[in-house]
Amino acid sequence: MSEPAVTADLVAQHGLTAEEYERIKQILGRTPTFTELGIFSVMWSEHCSYKSSKVHLKRLPTAGPQVLQGPGENAGVVDIGDGLAAVFKIESHNHPSFVEPFQGAATGVGGILRDIFTMGARPIAILDALRFGSLEDTKNRSIAEGVVSGIAFYGNCIGVPTVGGEVYFEPEPSGYSHNPLVNALCLGVAPKEKIFFARARGVGNPVIYVGAKTGRDGIHGASLLASAEFDETSQQKRPNVQIGDPFLEKLLLEALLEALDTGAIVGLQDMGAAGLTCSTCEMGAREGTGIEIELEKVPQREAGMTPYEIMLSESQERMLAVAEKGREKEILDVFRKWGLDAVLIGQVTGDGKLRVRHHGEVVAEIPARPLADDCPVYHRPLAPPAPRREQLIEFAAPDAAARNLRDDFLRLLASPTLASKRWITEQYDYSVRTNTVLSPGQGDAAVLRLKGTRRGLALTVDGNGRYCHLDPRRGAMLAVAEAARNLVAVGARPWAVTNCLNFGNPEKPEILWQFSEVIDGMAEACRVFGTPVTGGNVSFYNETRGKAIYPTPVIGMLGLLEDVEARIGNGFRRPGNAIVLLGGRTTERQGLERTFSSSEYAVRLRGVVVGAPPEIDLAYEKRVHDCCLELVRRSYVTAAHDLSDGGLLLALAEGSFAAATRVGAVVTLAGDLPLEAVCFGEESSRILLEVDEKHLADLLRIAAQYQVEARQLGWTTAGEFRVHFNGKVVLDEDVNLLAEAWRTGLTRRMRGAAA
Amino acid sequence: MAPLTLRPGSGQVKFGVVIFPGSNCDHDAFHVLRDVLGQPSEWIWHQSAEIGHLDAVILPGGFSYGDYLRTGAIASHSPVMSAVKKFAARGGLVLGICNGFQILCESGLLPGAMLRNRRLKFLCRFVHLRVENTDTPFTGACQPGQVLKIPIAHMEGNYFVDEPARRELEHNQQIIFRYATPAGEIADDEETNPNGALANIAGISNPERNVLGLMPHPERASEPLMGSTDGLAIFQSMIASLVTK
């Protein structure tokens, strides 16, 4: 079979620059074949090589006593005590989800699951961070429908619970309209000694292909879909999106964990982005060995596939295993038991090369390490954007504003970003495997028990793109701070971080500046909270017709509970308890217009996205976390809920609605700030606590020891929801009426109701 | 007719949990039986043509063979289902949960079929079940009219059967559980009967009462940490009926 000649045109079509092509020729000492060109183009795509982000990612803290494996493997691994390790990672599937929402999101879940179980860990939880444009636009509604069903389809079928996540339906200029963000996090757990690494060990060991047959789907998914901007023709890239089969992946998961138990497997890698190409050369490169495969042995879905197509296919649910020589049969037997294709396609060699044969003919022969590791690294130019001209919110006089508080509150409660996410979370099987102790909506973070131990794990994902748009560095700090705050609110110690960085085109200096700022903000906050970054994913080129999304770092944070029975939910437990606001600072009027102008209130009710995100003092934030954990440890706290989007009133409302019995709240607020800012301001470092009155004095004393503010705002009630402000009742409502607006807000919008 | 192998005086029941390749609630059922209730339990692989010496068999939730066709359709033709039919015919207790219920319907061990939920979406939430008949091996430990809080998690749980068959179910008192309000009232709103099941049917038995199909998941409501222990009543009823038989 003759391959096309490699020309300058063909090189450009593969997204390689002239300089990159020169380097390829240098590595090979000759002109690449067509298949080799394809291999280089995917391995050196932005998606696989991190060529624009590498120099910045280096600044993240990745070390710590708890870290067993930092960035560089399929997923990060941390020690969680009792001889157990947690394996976790978050990844984006934004571009495929734009082109085909259902399959794009489904295969995003499938891919991250494989990353976890190829490390020998059984996946125990999935979380998702989603961003959609305004639901006024029917296209955004159908994207949201498709994405949520796709996640549900895959996770529910394979039987891994989707236990939490977060979602924003953000109006323009967010850039999320027609460019959704779909970030999926998976957590797995295994005994420490069973963690498995992706290495091609032992010259002469056989290489085994496992799972689905290779088809023509997904070719250039990584290089063309994930590494370029969108335009009107992007929907035509639908054939580049893979199709998921969760049942097959379930078989792969069970068979693989069983096969690993035989001890006959020495190396394992998922075939994800860049398929067979990536798995072969990365395994070889990591161990310094080479690998040789024969393509005609690869199970194929259709006849007549070329070497180029077989190497670049991104067909789902496939893996590559290296077996100990002589013990192949043990492995093949396990896969046969589960009804899976498993065939020997090659062997580990000692010459450091990736050699690909097709019917005896060598179609590619590339030094594995330079292919995997020597992609050019770019120090692309950065530049801060031009200063914004903006009109901040002007506050009405407090008295005038008070008249609208009830309407404002009801509108915010029913707005899709703040309303109950039940429409989404009910579509996810969140309780399969019976480990989910705090399910979606019950706590600020998901909490899972670990059967056979007293321990629990908590997980959360957070990131506010609007904040990062206004100040990327501070926005990133706030995202890390909120993640940690969510964990301490359920009683878990923040332990480690994974991150998904969603940005526009890094070749534009102001986008790369955002990226660089976000990295620095994240790095600083992770250092202060003692939560090293163990891995993650960068998604660039989130631009449609030249318009970039908000810079959107999503922080996935894992927390530890020594005793899972002691976890704290976010719903008030009973009437007559004290409501305490822990943390925060006496806000000065100065600067308030700026920070309040970036709030949910500002964007939803005033239609502005201006100003700056809330101030944050990381050292103070950390003291708030430590204090909260101490209060939980002393069993003073019966409910805890961090203050974030929508501020104090939203947190009070959610505390009231989460309880099965719908406990209400009466609070007394005071000060010379405008009422709306007091109710809906999003000042950082604050946690709302429900406390039995008998512990109140001790609680305040301990807060003082931590140099953290704490004041009682009021009491929980048997159903009234009342706010006093400077001596006047500014809101008095039955909690059921408020709850109804909150509970049905998103469902009504998804069923087509107007705002 | 007592080929079942109860060890006299042991007070223990030997459960078998079937593993289809796509079962995903198999471990949950096993955990409750063995770790919570202390019963000796075994796995049964889907290719087994024999049930062996067991007292009760659980068909767990999941997606059996991927459910590409109708849910449970392929599973009904599996080797293990021939064995389960024989086991049921000689009086063995069979509990089908969720996908297990769907398989029992497809196998003809129970009447009726599952349609998609009324809103056409997967639904995972706690529901309330009213116990309609306590004179069965699965509900003997319950009070008549007792309300159990147990979660559902399915896409196809909208039970349907034609009118004559429904009347027969009623007449024979084969409707064992109905979706109800927390106070035990039967209503057809989306909160109470979320999947839209005919006559709020959540669980039925065969006329002989030894085969039960149930859409909600009692194994997910059997420990305080899971938010409810009401599901235990079903497993405890099974154990009590077998040890006192």
Active site residue A95: no
Amino acid (1-letter code) at residue A457: L
Among A476, A552, A548, A473, residue whose Cα is nearest residue A506:
A548
Give the CATH number of the domain where residue B123 resides: 3.40.50.880
Please report residues of B whose CB lies closer than 8 A to that of A157. 22, 24, 63, 66
Instruction: Please report whether residue B2 resides in a domain.
Output: no
Instruction: Please report whether residue B236 resides in a domain.
Output: yes
Instruction: Please report whether residue B8 resides in a domain.
Output: no
> For residue A67, what are its two tokens?
């870290």
Q: DSSP string spanning A487-498?
A: HHHHT-EEEEEE
Q: What pLDDT was estimated at residue B69? A: 81
**Interface predicted TM-score of the whole assembly (ipTM), two decimals:** 0.95
Please report residues of B whose CB lies closer than 8 A to that of A454. none
- Token pair 């004179």 in the structure block, residue: B135
Residue % of chain A over a pLDDT of 70: 95
Rounded average pLDDT over A528-545 = 94
Phi, psi of B81 (to 5 degrees): -70, -30
Q: How far apart are CA B101 and CA B120, in angstroms?
A: 19
- Min Cα distance A424 → chain B (Å) is 10
> For residue A435, what are its two tokens?
């480990």
- Min Cα distance B222 → chain A (Å) is 9
Q: Do B24 and A338 touch (CB under 8 A)?
A: no
The active-site residue out of B25, B106, B128, B217 is: B217
Choose from A334, A337, A426, A434 for mutation: most chain B CBs within 10 A: A434
The active-site residue out of B46, B77, B219, B223 is: B219
Nearest CB among B125, B225, B227 relative to A449 is that of B225
Rounded average pLDDT over A444-448 = 98
Model confidence at B8, pLDDT cuts 50, 70, 90, reads: very low
Please report residues of A whose CB lies closer than 8 A to that of B122. 152, 156, 426-429
- Pairs from A348-351 (Cβ < 8 Å, separation ≥ 24): A348/A200, A348/A201, A348/A202, A348/A203, A348/A204, A348/A205, A348/A206, A348/A207, A348/A284, A348/A289, A348/A290, A348/A291, A348/A292, A348/A322, A349/A203, A349/A289, A349/A290, A349/A291, A349/A292, A350/A203, A350/A289, A350/A290, A351/A290
Q: Do A434 and B68 touch (CB under 8 A)?
A: no
Instruction: Please report whether residue B195 resides in a domain.
Output: yes
Choose from B34, B74, B225, B228 for mutation: most chain A CBs within 10 A: B225
Q: Worst-scoring range by mean pLDDT, A84-98, A576-590, B14-28?
A: A576-590
Taking residue A473's Cβ as centre, other Cβ atoms within 10 Å add up to 19
Q: How far apart are CA A23 and CA A103, in angstroms?
A: 36
Q: Do A251 and B35 touch (CB under 8 A)?
A: no
> For residue A341, what are its two tokens?
């294709």
Strands (E), A152-205: 162-169, 181-191
Instruction: Please report whether residue B1 resides in a domain.
Output: no
* pLDDT, tens only, B52-108: 889 999 999 999 988 888 888 899 999 999 999 999 999 999 999 999 999 999 999
Residues in Cβ contact with A110 at an 8 Å cutoff, skipping those fewer than 6 apart: A154, A158, A244, A246, A249, A316, A317
- Most confident range, picked from A318-322, A386-390, A422-426: A422-426
Choose from A124, A317, A432, A457 for mutation: most chain B CBs within 10 A: A432
Q: What pLDDT was estimated at residue A238? A: 56
Instruction: Please report whether residue B3 resides in a domain.
Output: no
Q: Do B62 and A429 touch (CB under 8 A)?
A: no
Q: Which domains does chain A have, with CATH numbers?
A: 8-51+198-373 (3.90.650.10), 63-195+434-543+554-566 (3.30.1330.10), 398-413+570-739 (3.90.650.10)
Q: What pLDDT was estimated at residue A294? A: 96
Q: Is the pLDDT of residue A589 over 80?
A: no
Rounded average pLDDT over A333-351 = 93
Q: Is the pLDDT of residue A338 over 50?
A: yes
Is the four-CA dihedral A296, A298, A304, A305 of positive or negative sign? negative
Model confidence at A395, pLDDT cuts 50, 70, 90, reads: low
Phi, psi of A536 (to 5 degrees): 155, -150
Q: What pLDDT was estimated at residue B6? A: 44
What 8-state DSSP symbol labels residue A350? S
Choose from A163, A336, A426, A746 for mutation: most chain B CBs within 10 A: A426
Omega cis (within 30) before A246: no
Q: Is the pLDDT of residue A283 over 60?
A: yes
Q: What is the mean pLDDT of chain B?
A: 94
Rounded average pLDDT over A264-274 = 86
Q: What pLDDT was estimated at residue A755? A: 64
Q: How far apart are CA A255 and CA A36, in angstroms?
A: 33
* pLDDT, tens only, A292-326: 999 999 999 989 999 999 999 988 889 999 999 99
Please report residues of B whose CB lies closer than 8 A to that of A440. none
Instruction: Please report whether residue B104 resides in a domain.
Output: yes
Q: Does B120 touch chain A (CB under 8 A)?
A: no
Q: Is the pLDDT of residue A41 over 70?
A: yes
Q: Is the pLDDT of residue A423 over 70?
A: yes
Q: Do A433 and B27 touch (CB under 8 A)?
A: yes
Rounded average pLDDT over A714-735 = 95
Please report residues of B whose CB lies closer than 8 A to that of A254. 21
Q: Which 3-state string (H, E, C) describes chain B?
A: CCCCCCCCCCCCCCEEEEECCCECCHHHHHHHHHHHCCCCEEEEECCCCCCCCCCEEEECCECCCCCCCCCCCCHHHCHHHHHHHHHHHCCCEEEEECHHHHHHHHCCCCCCEEECCCCCCCEEEEEEEEECCCCCCCCCCCCCCCEEEEEEEECCCEEECCHHHHHHHHHCCCEEEEEECCCCCCCCCCCCCCCCCHHHEEEEECCCCCEEEECCCHHHCCEHHHCECCCHHHHHHHHHHHHCC
> Is B231 within 8 Å of B61 (Cβ atoms)?
no
The domain total for chain B is: 1
Model confidence at B7, pLDDT cuts 50, 70, 90, reads: very low
- Pairs from A398-403 (Cβ < 8 Å, separation ≥ 24): A398/A674, A398/A675, A398/A725, A398/A726, A401/A674, A401/A675, A401/A676, A402/A675, A402/A725, A402/A728, A402/A730
Please report residues of A whose CB lies closer than 8 A to that of B28. 432-434
Q: Does B121 touch chain A (CB under 8 A)?
A: yes
Q: How far apart are CA B68 and CA B112, in angstroms?
A: 20
Q: Is the pLDDT of residue A586 over 90?
A: no
> Is A138 within 8 Å of A99 (Cβ atoms)?
no
Instruction: Please report whether residue B237 resides in a domain.
Output: yes
Chain A residue closest to B71 (CA)?
A: A157
Q: What pLDDT was estimated at residue A103? A: 94
Among A341, A340, A342, A317, residue whose Cα is nearest residue A328:
A342
Q: Is the pLDDT of residue A403 over 70?
A: no
Length of chain B: 245
Active site residue B98: yes
Please report residues of A whose CB lies closer than 8 A to that of B155. 156
Model confidence at A398, pLDDT cuts 50, 70, 90, reads: very low
Q: Do A152 and B66 touch (CB under 8 A)?
A: no
Q: Whole-model pTM above 0.90?
A: yes
Angle at A409 between CA A403 and CA A414, to 5 degrees: 140
Q: Do A431 and B25 touch (CB under 8 A)?
A: no
The active-site residue out of B98, B106, B142, B154 is: B98
Q: What pLDDT was estimated at residue B84? A: 97
> For residue B190, what are its two tokens?
């989306």
> Is B124 within 8 Å of B191 (Cβ atoms)?
no
Q: Between A and B, how many residue pairs show a Cβ–Cβ distance under 8 A?
A: 82
> Is A506 within 8 Å of A518 (Cβ atoms)?
no
* Domain enclosing residue B72, as ranges: 15-243
Q: Do A427 and B28 touch (CB under 8 A)?
A: no
* pLDDT, tens only, A455-511: 999 999 999 999 999 999 999 999 999 999 999 999 999 999 999 999 999 999 999
Q: Is the pLDDT of residue A102 over 70?
A: yes
Q: How far apart are CA A601 and CA A605, in angstroms?
A: 5
- Token pair 């704290």 in the structure block, residue: A568
* pLDDT, tens only, A221-258: 666 556 666 665 665 665 667 788 999 999 999 999 99
Q: How far apart are CA A325 and CA B131, in angstroms?
A: 59
The helix (run of H) or strand (run of E) holding residue A320 is: strand A318-323
Q: Do B65 and A157 touch (CB under 8 A)?
A: no
- Min Cα distance A319 → chain B (Å) is 19
Please report residues of A whose CB lies closer than 8 A to that of B32. 434
Q: DSSP string spanning A637-681?
A: EEEEEE--TTHHHHHHHHHHHHSTT--EEEEEE-SSS-HHHHHH-
Q: What pLDDT was estimated at residue A228? A: 66
Among A225, A382, A351, A337, residue whose Cα is nearest residue A288:
A351
Rounded average pLDDT over A375-401 = 76
